[in-house]
Amino acid sequence: MAVKHIGQVSDTDIRTLRIFKTVVECGGFAASEVELNISRAAISIAMSDLETRLGFKLAQRGRAGFSLTSEGQQVYDYALQLLSSIENFRTQVNALHANLKGELTIGITDNLVSMPHMLVTKALARLKEKGSDVRINIRMIPPNEVERGVLDGKLHVGIVPDLKVIDGLHYRQLYDERSMLYCSRQHPLFGIELGKDWAQVLSDIDAVVPAYAQAPEIKLRQQQLHGTATATDREGVAFLILTGKYIGYLPDHYAERWVRSEEMWPLLPEQLSYHTQFSAITRVTGVPNLVLETFLNELDQLREA
């Protein structure tokens, strides 16, 4: 079979690639109708046209659901790069006119919204005040995916815990987060002041431990617990603590709502606590972007205040 080559990329190609990107991110035709504001039939036609244009099938669709082919996954990755480049071009042209327009795509580790300093929230508010046409996209994803997204240009900026320093990334320290060991009201340890034998007591108590990456010193803390359950994020840890069957570490700002309502209790907060530093990360060799620079400037001002 002859190899099919793609010539000049047209406006129609860009439009169908945007539709394809949305379909992938929504998980199928039906879910993407609302997002795209076009009919399922129109989406199907656009996908078929794109497959014909490229010369291979992009996705399997039917009763079993929607899934990308291996070629479809590669085209999706290439489409993200292309659309990101177009957006960067638009942002740079706008910068020539000192007119703040474009997008800011930011990846954030889960459950930071309750941080009392609210640096990210306030910086986003100031960015929107300076550019009412700026479009903000937030992706709540694990730290390793945030780092990878910033490095490959899919994300403009990320907020992650300082687990390790990665070449190619610039770090701005934002938060010092304290985590403590909690149990719930239904747990036998609720309201009890543990004595000097606390380590022996806790060694027999079921605990939930994180299934995500941790700094070595924090991982050591978790290993001291009798881990009989895991969670992929802090919300999952909270779910299991609230069953009354497990103890586990949570950030104090996140657990505060339950502590205030006496649904959770911190166990030996002075001895059983640790700190995690969070930073804003950007790519060292990133393309100049006025929207991103404005956001980072606002972050810097808030950090120094």
| Structural domains of the chain sorted by starting position, each given as residue range(s) with its CATH number in brackets | 11-78 (1.10.10.10), 90-165+284-304 (3.40.190.10), 176-277 (3.40.190.290)
User: Quick one: CA torsion of 39, 40, 42, 48, rounded to 10 degrees?
Assistant: 170
The whole-number average pLDDT for the span 203-212 is: 92
Has this prediction a pTM greater than 0.85? no
Res 38 pLDDT > 50:
yes
- When the pLDDT of each residue in the chain is averaged and rounded to a whole number, the result is 89
- Interval 225-273: pLDDT, tens: 999 999 999 999 999 999 999 999 999 999 999 999 999 999 999 899 9
For 8-39, b/e burial (b = at least 16 CB within 10 A) is eeeeebeebbbbbbbbbebebbeebbeebeee
Q: Could you tell me the CA-to-CA distances from 298 to 97, 144, 189, 238, 294 in Å, in that order?
A: 20, 25, 44, 32, 6
- Interval 150-166: pLDDT, tens: 999 999 999 999 988 99
